[in-house]
Every structure is written in C-alpha cells, then in structure tokens.
Structure 1
Amino acid sequence: MRTLNARTVCCLLLSCQYALCTLSPDSKAKSKSKNSKFLRGPQDNDVFDLKLVSPKPSPKDIVMHNEAYYKDTALRRFNGTVLGYVTPWNSHGYDVAKIFAKKFDIISPVWLQVVKQFDEYAVAGTHDIDAGWLSELRRKGKVQQQQAQRTVKVFPRVIFDHFTDRDIKLLLSDAGERTKLNEVLIQSCKEHSFDGLVLEVWSQIAGRIDDKILYTLVLQMAKDLKKQQLRLILVIPPQRRDMSNLFSERHMDRLYKHIYAFSLMTYDFSSLQRPGANAPLYWMRSAIDHIAPDDCHDVEVKRSKILMGFNMYGNDYTPDGGGPIISNQYLELVRPLKKPLLNDERDVENFFEIRTETGRHTVFYPTLYSINERIKLAQELGVGISIWELGQGLNYFYDLF
C-alpha cells in the first residue's frame, strides 16, 4: 500500500540532484558521440517492433531506449479506463501527462487537502494548481470518437489533513457537517473546472470506526457531487494478511452503484523488513477476486470500475535497508550491469543484484515485460488501470498502454 511514509521517502529521493562534471572540449565531443547511441523522443518503431518486451531484458537495451517512445502517442492498446497520478514534487510527471494525454481517461493531480479552520472546512493546496498546464493537458487529450469528441478528465486527489479524532467523529456523525464539507469541495471543483475528485480516506479511518458511518460519509459525498455533474473515485486498500477486511466484497456491494471508480492500491506488497517484488502478479489477481469474485452479482460492472494499481517506482534493497527508487536512481544502478535482468517467474517481476562502492544492492523496478504482463491481467479480468505515478517510470513504458 502507498503510505504517507513511502510518499515522504519518494519526495526526499526526488529532491536529490545529480551534479554534472565540467567537460573539456575533447571530452564533450567524445560524450556527444557516445550519447548518440541513446534514443530520445518520438521514434518510428515501438517497443514491440524493436522486440524489447522480454522476460529477461538487456540492461544495454534499457539504457539505450528508455527515453524514446512511439511517435503516434494517440495509439491505445488497452481498452479499459486508465488513470494517471501526477504530483507537485515530480515535475516530469506533468510532461508525461501531456505527451501521452490521449492514452489516459483521467489524470489525478495530487494537489488538494481538506483542512479545518476553526469550525469551517477549507481546501488547501490550491497554490499547486497550474491553470496553464490544465488547459494544455485538455487540449492535447482530445480524441475523436465516432461522432463525438472526448478529452481527458481531471480528478484531483484530496485527503483529510491534520484532522483530530474529534474532527473525524463530528464529520462522521453530523449530516450538516458533511454537507458543509461537500459544498466546499464542489465549489473548488467548479472554480477550477475539475470533473470530479479522487478521495483517499478509507485506509485512514477504516477499522477504527463502524463501517456504516464510513459508508455514510462516502455515499453522501458521491451523491452530492453527482447532483452537480461531478464524480467520485474512491482509493481503496488491497487485500493483505493484516487488513484483509478493510475493503472486501461486502463493501464493494454497498458502494459500486454510487462510486464512479475504485483506485485499488496494488503495490507495496514487500517492504524493507520483507524485501521482494513490489506487486506480485498472483497477489494482484487475488486482490481483484477478493472484492469482485468471478461468480459475484454484476461482476462485469464491478470490475469495470476497479482501477488496478500499477507502480512506476521500484525498490533498492541494501544491507542497511535501502528504499524506493525512481527512474534516475534505477538507471544509475542498471547502467554498469552486463548480464540480463533476472525474472522472478512466481511474482512475474524482474530484478537484479549488483555491488557498487556503496555496497550490495538488490533492485526491483518495473520493466516492459512486467508491465505488459499486468496489462494482460487487467484485460483478462476486465478492470481498469491506475498508475502511481507518472514521471517515476521510463518513457517507453507508455508504448504498452
């Protein structure tokens, strides 16, 4: 599961800058010649034409092709709903959203927080809203479909920030408080022309309160938004040993008719305490079956609303612990590797082991192969996809979607 701690670590990692050495005229020429082998930007062939989708990918191929992508960015291979998260602390994600805008149905900027100001509710984080970027995203995300035109929708994520137990109890127990909250959220959506909201609250308070009260909060928000032609996406936790009942089939039964979609956080299966694959394929399948089994009522409708989480970050495990990594850290580690990456056939993830000046590393990070296998699973199960987060992965990954 994506946790606040994990996000904080990612923020810190993203804040690191890599210093560039000063080059002499001769070394500049050599560097230019060497870098000419690295492909960047739009290309005539996609990753399938180039036969790069391999169970044991070559480090050389990863380094050479990762910044390139197929020139027809409007081509979509996956026919389900695709949501992509972007964050203020990863500016490359904003660029990725624009470049591949036609591949996404929904973009969710991680901008907003609900806060209490004395007895009133307010929306914080609006300083991160970039009106120019939103306008360009919508323009680039326009797609002609038969006689109609659609464009990518924008559903910013919202969380409850610095709420005390008293604040939570008041909100859950008083319909008037919920109405006040929803009015503030609706006003923010209208002011910035949002299409809806992604609500991340279930993991925060589920298990601490009666489910009936939590249903009331979510359902009232969904209904109030719908009256204003706005929609609600609910972030939900996956099945785990320690919290398998936080969101189950009975929760889905109660909510699916009212919620636009469910963003299922099928990542962070492993941890520093239990190193391994980030999102084993068998576990992702099990997480879907847990809330919408094959034989359940209205299974096709329920599954069409589930957005199975794809991580675009990885983990670098070291004897001291290690932590999450994104594209630049991954490329630094994979570049000196000579042998093909290993394939964990049970978890269907690639990894490698390497020793550097800082010690031994075991690195799990998405590859074209691991992502493609998860797209196949999403197609098989009839679910959508949610990507955490754009900009953390490699550009050529988007040839797959």
Structure 2
Amino acid sequence: MLFNVVWLQVKRRPSGAYVVQGDHDIDRGWMKEVTKGRNTKIFPRMLFDGWSGEDYLHLFSSEDEIEDCVETILKFIKSQHFQGIVLEIWSQLGGHRKTDLIHFLTHMGQMFREEGRFLILVIPPSAESGADGMFNKEDFNALSPHIDRFSLMTYDYSSPSRPGPNSPLAWMKACVENLVPESNSTLRKKILLGFNFYGYDFVPGSGEPVIGHKFIEILKKHKPDIRWDQNSAEHTIQYKTGIGHHIIYYPSLLSIETRLELAKYLKTGISIWEIGQALDYFYDLL
C-alpha cells in the first residue's frame, strides 16, 4: 500500500537554483504510526507549483538543467527517507510542450530508477467525447518504460456548469481503454484507477465539494431519499434549501465495490482522492 500525505513544491529561484519547499508539513510521528508493522510506503505529492513560462523554458533548455532539477528532488527525498514521489506536472502545462515534458520525465524516471526510487505520475483523464484529451495513448507509450505508475484522475467528471456524477463507471472504463486498449496487456498494471472519496453538492449555477462529516449533517437535517443512479453507478440525494434545489452525488459501499470490481476487470491498481474525506466504513472493502 502506498500513501501520499505531504504536499511539496519544486521551485526555481532567480539564481537558477532548484529547491524543494513544504518540508515543514512532514509529520514523522504520524508516518511512523501508519507504517508500523505494515507493508506501507509513504510518497509525498510533489508539484511544480507557481512556475512561469520562463521557468519551464530554462528547465527544458539543457540536460544540465534537467539533471540539476531531478538531483535536487532526489537529494531531498533521500534526506527525508522517502522511497519515491507522486509527481504533478502534466496538467500544469495544459497539454502543451509535450515533447519537452516527455524528454524531462524520461530523464527523471531513469535517474530515479538508478537511485532505487519510485516515480508515480499524475495524469488527466480522457475527454468526454472519447478523444485523446490532454494525455493520450502515445504519451503513455512513450513514458511507460520510465514511469513506475500513472495515477489516473478519473473523477471530477462533472462541474457546476454541467452538474452530474463524479466518475461515471463507463467513462472510467473508457479512460483506461483509451490508454491501453489491449485487455491482456501487462501495461495496465501501471495505471492506478482514480476513486473519489468525496462528493459534490450541485445547485443551479454553482456547486461545492462534500466530505464525510458534511454529508452526514445533510442527511440528518434534510432526511432525503438515497437513490441509485444506474447509468453512472453512483448514489445520489436531492433536497431543497432557500438557494434552490440541491443534488448530491456521493460515494457509497456499493459504488466503491462496483469500481473495485472494474479495477479488477481492467487489471489496474487504484488511487484514492482522498483518505481523510471519506466515511470510516468506506475502508471495509479495501
């Protein structure tokens, strides 16, 4: 089991030096308790946060820049005794500069492997239409020899401008098959199918995330009927307040079990966003 519990940021200083920030959030005591007596590894989530176009231009400009950046990251995670990272960089570039980004990630994967460290890349899902989207099969094929796992963001399917389910089952399946169409391919084990452990509360024109304790409060106050949406394989409730008609899509044991079965069928792993937002009994199935 892998845990992603800390948010770290890679920064490029005006001097040209790279630095990792956010280590003040590392809770050694909690990490010790979580891993004690378990086969559990903790990987921090690392973001290229607040980077300008010029920063990326410098990073991609030479092999020396790439090596300086990756060596800074490796030095940090080794000093903190992490076995790897969950890297978030692809979405920040919005699908642009793919050639440069693949080149950078290829080097990064090779350098991590040489140091015995594990690299998980967060990737966006397919477009609704089934088109390639921001990350496609060609990108996956180029990177799969160098990246250990791909954390596929198969959630946030809907939005306030288009209310609906968080992660329709058929769409999740299509997102995996768009990357690896062959059902017998061993490459599918590199994909971590994304599960949302939060819900979304939609009202006309807006919406907001709903986590476990808030969902319980809504159930107690409004006592709505809980209904199963067969099309998306998600549970939903509806109720009214002074601001209008609400509809909430929120995970349940049945929706989670259905997605676990899908992951088994597709031969992928799973990735949960996120542990602290769930109801306690969600973990009974894991």
Q: TM-score scaled to structure 2, two decimals?
A: 0.94
Partners of 1:158 and 1:198 within 8 A in 2 = yes
CA contact (8 A) 2:151 2:194 kept: yes
Aligned to 2:19: 122
Distance in 2 between residues matched to 1:313 and 1:272, nearest whole Å: 15
Corresponding residue of 2:178: 290
Match of 2:5, SS state, is strand
SS of 1:194's partner is: coil
Is 1:137 aligned to 2:25, yes or no? no
Identity %: 39
Residue 244 of structure 1 pairs with residue 141 of structure 2? no
Residue 207 (structure 1) aligns with: 95
How far 1:331 moved relative to its partner?
Answer: 0.9
Q: 1:225 maps to what in 2?
A: 112
- The aligned counterpart of 2:71 is 183
Structure 1 counterpart of 2:161: 273
CA contact (8 A) 2:160 2:205 kept: no
Partner SS for 2:79: helix
Q: Check the 8 A contact 1:306/1:383 in 2, yes or no.
A: yes
Matched, 1:165 2:53: yes
Equivalent residue number for residue 393 of structure 1: 278
Alignment of 1:348 onto 2:233: yes
Higher mean Cα deviation, 230-239 or 153-162? 153-162
Could you say which residue in structure 2 is the equivalent of 1:328? 213
* CA deviation after TM superposition for structure 1 residue 322, in Å: 2.3
> Greater CA radius of gyration, 1 or 2?
1
Q: What do residues 116-135 of structure 1 show as CA deviations (whole Å, max 9, x unaligned)? A: 22211100101101111122
What is aligned with 2:201? 316
Comparing 270-279 with 211-220, greater Cα deviation is found at 211-220
Deviation at 1:337, TM superposition (A): 4.9
Distance 2:186 2:49 in 1: 33
1:189-213 superposed Cα distances (whole Å, 9 cap, x missing partner): 111110101111111115221x221
| CA distance in structure 2 between the aligned counterparts of 1:184 and 1:207, rounded to whole angstroms | 25
Offset at residue 173 of structure 1 (A): 2.3
CA distance in 2, matches of 1:207, 1:280: 23
Relative CO higher for 1 or 2, CA cutoff 8 Å, sep ≥ 6?
1
- Output one character per residue of 1:4-57: Cα deviation in whole Å (capped at 9) or x when no partner: xxxxxxxxxxxxxxxxxxxxxxxxxxxxxxxxxxxxxxxxxxxxxxxxxxxxxx
CA distance in 2, matches of 1:200, 1:393: 23
Q: Is the 8 A contact 2:125 2:133 kept in 1?
A: no
For 1:165 and 1:112, the matched residues in 2 are separated by 20
**Superposition map of 1:26-175 within 5 A:** 105-118=1-14, 119-140=16-37, 142=38, 151-175=39-63
Q: Which amino acid aligns with 2:191?
A: I
Question: What is the letter of the counterpart of residue 223 of structure 1?
Answer: Q
In the alignment, residue 5 of structure 2 is paired with which amino acid?
A: P
Q: Write the distance in 1 (CA, Å) between the matches of 2:267 and 2:195.
A: 15
* One-letter identity of the residue aligned with 1:400: L
RMSD of the alignment, in Å?
1.6
> Counterparts of 2:19 and 2:73 in 1: how far apart (Å)?
8
Distance in 1, matches of 2:50 and 2:168, equals 33
| Whole-angstrom distance in 1 between the partners of 2:282 and 2:241 | 27
Residues 238, 244 of structure 1: 8 Å contact kept: no
* 1:198/1:233 contact within 8 Å kept: yes
SS at the partner of 1:271? coil
Aligned length: 284
Hey, what's the Cα distance between the residues in 2 that align with 1:241 and 1:351? Answer: 21
Q: Secondary structure at the match of 1:324?
A: strand
Offset at 1:359?
4.0
Post-superposition offset of 1:235:
0.5
Structure 2 gaps, min length 5:
none
